[in-house]
Structure 1
Amino acid sequence: MTTGSSHPSESRSAGPAGSTHGTSGGINTFKGHDRALRADRLGTAGLLLSVLAATGPLMVVAGVMPTTFGVMGIVGQPLLFVLLGVVLILFSFGYAEMSRHVHNAGAFYAYISRGLGGTAGAGAALVALVAYSALQVGLYGLFGFEVTLLVNEHFDVDLAWWIPSLACALLVGFLALMKIDVNARVLGVLLLIEVALVVVFDVAALSEPSKQGVSLEAFNPEILTGAGIGTALCFCIAAFTGFEQAPVYAEETSRPQVVVARVMLLAVSFVALFFAFSSWALTVAAGPDGIVPAAQEHSAGLLFHLTESRLGETFADLMHVLLVTGVFAATLSFHNVVSRYAFAMGREGLLPAAFGRTNRASGAPGTGALLQSGVTLVVLLLFAVTDDKPVGDPTAPILRLFTWMGNIGAFGVTLLMTTASLAVIVFFARRGAVRAQLWRLIASGIAGVALLVIAVYTVKDFHVLVGADSESLLRWALPGIIVLAGAVGLVVGAVLKARNPEAHARIGLGNEAFQLEKAAEGAPDPR
C-alpha cells in the first residue's frame, strides 16, 4: 500500500476530491455509531456561535487589548487587528477550500497529512492536541481569579482562585459529554450577551470621547514603528485563536462541504472587524495620547474603568460578570475541540483505540473529553499546590497559568496555520488543480509567509509575552513544549509507517478509511 502523502482515497472520484457521503448528505461510517460523530447536529448558526465563543470577545477586549497597549506601548493596535484580519482571511481562502474536500474532526492534522504526508500529519496531531489543551487549561486561571475578585468585592470573602477553577472544570467536563447541539446553545447565549455589552461600550465611547475627540490616529500607519511591533502582533494573533476550529466539527454539521467554509470566512471577518472597532473605541475613550498610560495604570481593569465612568457602576459590574461567563464559554469550546482531536487520533491509530469511540447516547467523544478533564485537574492541582502567594495574588492564576499556557497554545496554533498553508498548496498542486485554485494558492502562500514571520517573532520575544527575564529558562522551555510535541509526533508517525504502513496511509482519512475497508471487505478475492 502506498504511504506518505499519497492516500488510498485520492485516486477515487466520490464527490469533491474524494469526499464520501451517504445519501442523506452526512458522512457515513461502516464501523457503527460508536466510531462516528453524529452528523447533522450543527447548522451554520450553531457552528458559528461555537467557533466564535472560543475567541472570547469580552476576554480579548478586557484582557488582551489593555495588555498590548500597556506592555508594548503601541497605540496602533486597531490597525494591527486589521492587518492580521487580512492575513487570516487570506489563510482562510485556502483552508476553507480544503474543508470542502476533507471532512475530519482532526482538522489541522488531517489537512496537513493529506498535503504533506501521514508522518507530518502525526506531528501536527500532537501539536494540535497539546496547543488546544494548553489554551483550555490556561483559561481556568483567568476564570478562577476573576471569580475571586467578584466574590471579594460583593461578599467580602477571600476565596482561593483554584476553588472556582476546579468547579468550572467539573461543569465543563460534564457539558462536554452532552450532545454538541446542547453545547452550541449554551455557547451561543453567552456569546451574544457579551458581544452586546461590548457593543454598548463601543457606542458609549464614541458618544463620550476623550478631550481628543473621535480620533482615527490609531489607524495611522506611521505610528506602527519600533521594535515592539513583532511582539504586539504575537499578542494580537492570540486573540484570533478559535476561528480556525470550524473544520473540527465538519462531521457533525449539515452539508459540511458548504457550512464549514462559510462559517470560517464569517468568523474571521467578524473577529477582525469586531476587535479592530473595539480596540479603536478604547483609544477614543482614553484618547490616543492617553490610552497607553491608562492601560499601564489600570491593566486588565481598563475596560471596566472606562465603562464605569460612562455607563455606571452597575453596568461595569454586569460586564465583569459576563467576562466570567465568556471565559467559561471559551473553556467549553476548547474542551470540545481537544476531545474531537483525541477522537480523530484514536480512530486513526495515533492514540489508543478507546479514544476513537463516542458515547452512544450523546454521540460525543467521551474518552477524549474525559482525557482533557483529567489533564485539566492535574495541571490545576499542580499550580494550586505550588502557589505560595496570599489569596488574591494574581501570580499563579494569571501571570503563570493563564499567561504561560495561553502563549504556548497560541504559538502552537500559529505553527499549525503556517504548516497548513503549505499543505493546502501541495494538496491541490498534486491533484493538478493549480490553475483552478491559483488565487487561493497564492493567498495561502502569502498567509503562510506572514504567519511564519509571526511564529519566529513569538519565539524570539517569548520572554516578553510571558513577562520573564530575557535570560530566563522559560524563554525556551515554554515554546519548547510545542517543538517537543511536534518531534514526538513525527517519531510516532515514522514508527507507524515502518511497522504498520496500512495504518499510516489512513492518517487524515477519518471515515473515508472505513469506506475503503468496507469496499475491500466486499470485493471478490482476486485469487
Structure 2
Amino acid sequence: MSVIEPAAAPAAPTGAGPASGQLHRRALGVPDLVFFIVAASAPLTAVAGGQAATYLVTGNKGIPFLFIPLAIVLGIFAVGYAAMSRHVADAGAFYTYVVRGLGRIPGVGVAFVALVSYNAMQIGIYGLFGVATAGFMADKIGITLDWQWWCLIGGAIIAVLGVLKIDLNARVLGVALILEVIVVVIFDLGVISSPGPEGLTTVGWSPSAATGSAMGAALTFCVASFVGFESAAIYSEECKDPKKTVARATFIAVALIGVFYAVSSWLLANSVGPTTMTNPDLLAKAGFPDPTTVLVGSGTATLGRVWGDTAAALFCTSLFAALLAFHNAVSRYVFALGREGVFPKVFARTHPKTGAPFVGSMAQSGLALVVVGAFAIAGADPVLKLFTWLTNLGALGVLLLMAVTSFAVVAYFNKRPDHDLGAWSTKIAPAIAGILMVVILVLGVANFNVLITSSTNAPTDTMTIVLPIVLFGSGIVGMIVAWALKSTRPQVYAEIGERTPTETAEHLA
C-alpha cells in the first residue's frame, strides 16, 4: 500500500468532516490566505519590535529603503513560486517543490531546514510574547506572572486552535490583523501630523544610508519582517482553487507588506528622529529604555492614552497571531513528512471532524513547551536570547529555503518542456531570485554576529557559530535520512514528494 494513499481519498460530502489523513479541502480563499501570510509577519510586532530593534542594533538609518529592493526580490521569487503552485499542490510546499525539481535527497534536507526555521521563528516569538503580555497584564490588569507562565497560557490556547478547522484559525488571525494594522496606520498619520524633533527627514530613503552600516544584518532583520509571505503554498491542499489562490495571495501579500513596512518604518524613525533611533544613549535620554517602547511611547504622547493602551494590548495579540500562523505552518510540514513515510506515519493523522493535522500540531506544541521551559529554567533573557537568537536563525533558514526552491523551480520546468508557462516565470525569474537570495544569505551570515550580540563592534559570540551550524546541519541530517531510506526502505523513498496523476488533478482541478 502506498504511504501517501490517505491523501488521495475523495473529498468528504458537504457538511461532513474530512476523511482521516486528509486536510480540510476547499476551505480557504484568497482573503483567508492573505490573512495567514500577513499575520505570520505580525505587522505591529514587526514595526514596534523588529524594525525598531533593527535601527538600534545595526545603526542603519536606511531601513525604509531596504524594504523596496527586498520586496522586489521577493516579488521575483514569487513569480516562480506561483508558477510551481499551479502544478504542485502539497502541504510540504518548499519540501515538495525541491523534491520535484532537484531530487528526493536534497528535498528531505530542505524539509528538515524548514522544520528548524519555522520552529525557531515560532518558539522565538514566545519570548517576546511572554515579556510583552506579562508587562501589559501587570500594568493594566494587575495580574502579575512571570513571562514563562504567559507563554504556557498562550501555548495552551494555540494547542486548542491548532486542532480546529483551518478556516476558524483564519478568522482569528483576520480579526487580530485588521486591528493591529489600523493601530499602526493611526500611528503613521499621527507622526505625519506631528513628527519628531528632526521633522520628516528623508534620510530613510537614501541608498547610501541603507548600505552604510551592517547592511547584511539589516537585510536579515527585514527578511524576518517578511517571513510568512511564502507560506501560502503550505495551505494549497486546503484552498478553494489552488491554481489561482496561492499565486494571487502571495503577490498581494508581498505588495501590501512591502509598502506598509517601508512607510511605517520610515515614520517610526521620524517619531523620535533617525539620529535618536540609531543611538542608544540618545534614545534613553529621550525616555525610551529600549527601541521596542518607541512606537507605544511616542504614539501615546501624540495620540493619547486610549490609543497607547490599545496599541499595547494589540502588540500582545499581534505576537499571538504570529505564533498561531507559524504553528499551523510547522504542523503541516510534519503532516507532509509523516504522510510520505519520512517521519512515522502517525504524524499523517488528521482530525476526522476538522481535517487539522492534530498529531503534528500537538508535536509542535510539545516542542515549544520544552524549549521555552529550558530557557526559563536556565534564566536566559527571553528577548535578547530566546527571541533574538531563534527568530534570526529562522530568518536565515527561510533565505536558504527560498534560494534552493528558486533553483528547484528552474530544474522542475526544464524537465517538463511541455508546460504552458513562459520562460520568465519558469526559468528567468526563479534563477534571478535564487542568485539574489544567495547573496542576501551570505551577507546575513557574514553579519550574523551583529544579530546575536546586538552590536556592530562586539567580539564574536559562540552562538554566532553554533546557530548557523544547527541550521545547515539540519539540512545535512535530512539528506542522511533520505539516503538511509533509499537503502533500507526503497519503496518509501521512491514515493517521497510524488503524487499520482489522479490526485494531482483532483487538487488542481
Shared fold by TM > 0.5?
Answer: yes
* Contact in 2 for aligned 1:34/1:363 (Cα 8 Å): yes
Q: Which amino acid aligns with 1:402?
A: F
* Contact in 2 for aligned 1:78/1:280 (Cα 8 Å): yes
Q: Which amino acid aligns with 2:75?
A: I
Q: Deviations over 1:437-495 (max 9, x none)?
A: 32122221222112111211222222211217533221111121111210110001111
Report the RMSD for the aligned CA atoms in angstroms: 2.4
- 1:212 Cα deviation after fit: 4.0
Change (3 A) 1:308 1:446: same
Q: What is the SS of the residue equivalent to 1:33?
A: coil
- 1:220 Cα deviation after fit: 2.0
* Contact in 1 for aligned 2:62/2:211 (Cα 8 Å): no
Alignment of 1:174-253 (within 5 A): 174-253=160-239
Which position in structure 1 is the counterpart of 2:319? 327
- 1:76 Cα deviation after fit: 1.0
Which position in structure 2 is the counterpart of 1:403? 388
Alpha-carbon distance between aligned partners in 1 of 2:33 and 2:323, rounded to the nearest angstrom: 16
Among all aligned residue pairs of Structure 1 and Structure 2, give the percentage whose two residues are the same amino acid. 40
* Contact in 1 for aligned 2:60/2:213 (Cα 8 Å): no
- State which of 468, 476, 495 in structure 1 corresponds to 2:484: 495
* Contact in 1 for aligned 2:58/2:213 (Cα 8 Å): no
Corresponding position: 1:120 with 2:106: yes
Which position in structure 1 is the counterpart of 2:507? none
Greater displacement, 448-457 / 159-168? 448-457
Which position in structure 2 is the counterpart of 1:309? 301
Corresponding position: 1:345 with 2:337: yes
Alpha-carbon distance between aligned partners in 2 of 1:23 and 1:122, rounded to the nearest angstrom: 28
* Contact in 1 for aligned 2:163/2:354 (Cα 8 Å): yes
Alpha-carbon distance between aligned partners in 2 of 1:251 and 1:244, rounded to the nearest angstrom: 15
- 1:224 Cα deviation after fit: 2.6
Which position in structure 1 is the counterpart of 2:328? 336
Which position in structure 2 is the counterpart of 1:33? 19
* Contact in 2 for aligned 1:230/1:457 (Cα 8 Å): yes
Q: Which amino acid aligns with 1:490?
A: M
Alpha-carbon distance between aligned partners in 2 of 1:352 and 1:148, rounded to the nearest angstrom: 38
* Contact in 2 for aligned 1:417/1:448 (Cα 8 Å): yes
Change (3 A) 1:473 1:483: same
Which position in structure 1 is the counterpart of 2:154? 168
Corresponding position: 1:138 with 2:124: yes
Which position in structure 2 is the counterpart of 1:14? none
Q: What is the SS of the residue equivalent to 1:367?
A: helix
- State which of 443, 450, 459 in structure 2 corresponds to 1:464: 450
Alpha-carbon distance between aligned partners in 2 of 1:291 and 1:433, rounded to the nearest angstrom: 54
Aligned length: 486
Alignment of 1:475-514 (within 5 A): 475-509=464-498, 512=500
Q: What is the SS of the residue equivalent to 2:223?
A: helix
Which position in structure 2 is the counterpart of 1:63? 49
Q: Deviations over 1:41-65 (max 9, x none)?
A: 1111112112211000000001111
* Contact in 2 for aligned 1:70/1:296 (Cα 8 Å): no
Alpha-carbon distance between aligned partners in 1 of 2:279 and 2:107, rounded to the nearest angstrom: 45
Q: Deviations over 1:188-229 (max 9, x none)?
A: 000100001101111111111234433333112232333511
Which position in structure 2 is the counterpart of 1:11? none
Q: Which amino acid aligns with 2:233?
A: P
* Contact in 2 for aligned 1:87/1:447 (Cα 8 Å): yes
Q: Deviations over 1:162-211 (max 9, x none)?
A: 01011111110011010101111101000100001101111111111234
Change (3 A) 1:338 1:474: same
Corresponding position: 1:379 with 2:364: no
Which position in structure 2 is the counterpart of 1:365? 357
* Contact in 1 for aligned 2:26/2:238 (Cα 8 Å): yes
Q: What is the SS of the residue equivalent to 2:167?
A: helix
Q: What is the SS of the residue equivalent to 1:466?
A: helix
Q: Which amino acid aligns with 1:432?
A: P
- State which of 417, 423, 429 in structure 2 corresponds to 1:443: 429
Q: Deviations over 1:211-252 (max 9, x none)?
A: 443333311223233351121111111110000000000011
Alpha-carbon distance between aligned partners in 1 of 2:211 and 2:332, rounded to the nearest angstrom: 41
Q: What is the SS of the residue equivalent to 1:34?
A: coil
Change (3 A) 1:56 1:341: same
- 1:290 Cα deviation after fit: 3.8
* Contact in 2 for aligned 1:61/1:275 (Cα 8 Å): yes
Alpha-carbon distance between aligned partners in 1 of 2:388 and 2:11, rounded to the nearest angstrom: 47
Alpha-carbon distance between aligned partners in 2 of 1:499 and 1:264, rounded to the nearest angstrom: 39
Corresponding position: 1:282 with 2:268: yes
Q: Which amino acid aligns with 1:418?
A: A
- 1:282 Cα deviation after fit: 1.6
Can you give the 5+ residue segments of structure 1 that lack an aligned partner in the other structure?
1-7, 9-19, 27-31, 388-394, 517-527
- 1:280 Cα deviation after fit: 1.4
* Contact in 2 for aligned 1:428/1:437 (Cα 8 Å): no
Q: Which amino acid aligns with 1:333?
A: A
Q: Which amino acid aligns with 2:67?
A: F
Q: What is the SS of the residue equivalent to 2:92?
A: coil
Alignment of 1:512-527 (within 5 A): 512=500, 515=503
Change (3 A) 1:410 1:433: farther
Alpha-carbon distance between aligned partners in 2 of 1:373 and 1:434, rounded to the nearest angstrom: 41
Can you give the 5+ residue segments of structure 2 that lack an aligned partner in the other structure?
505-509
Corresponding position: 1:263 with 2:252: no
Alpha-carbon distance between aligned partners in 2 of 1:131 and 1:330, rounded to the nearest angstrom: 14
Q: Which amino acid aligns with 1:80?
A: L
- 1:355 Cα deviation after fit: 0.5
- State which of 74, 80, 92 in structure 2 corresponds to 1:106: 92
Q: What is the SS of the residue equivalent to 1:97?
A: helix
Q: Which amino acid aligns with 1:464?
A: V
Q: Deviations over 1:290-328 (max 9, x none)?
A: 432378433111111220121012211210110100100
* Contact in 2 for aligned 1:67/1:300 (Cα 8 Å): yes
Alpha-carbon distance between aligned partners in 1 of 2:188 and 2:402, rounded to the nearest angstrom: 31
* Contact in 2 for aligned 1:506/1:513 (Cα 8 Å): no
Q: Deviations over 1:80-121 (max 9, x none)?
A: 011110110010000111011100000010001110001111
Alpha-carbon distance between aligned partners in 2 of 1:345 and 1:356, rounded to the nearest angstrom: 8
Greater displacement, 114-123 / 305-314? 305-314
Structure-2-length-normalised TM-score: 0.91
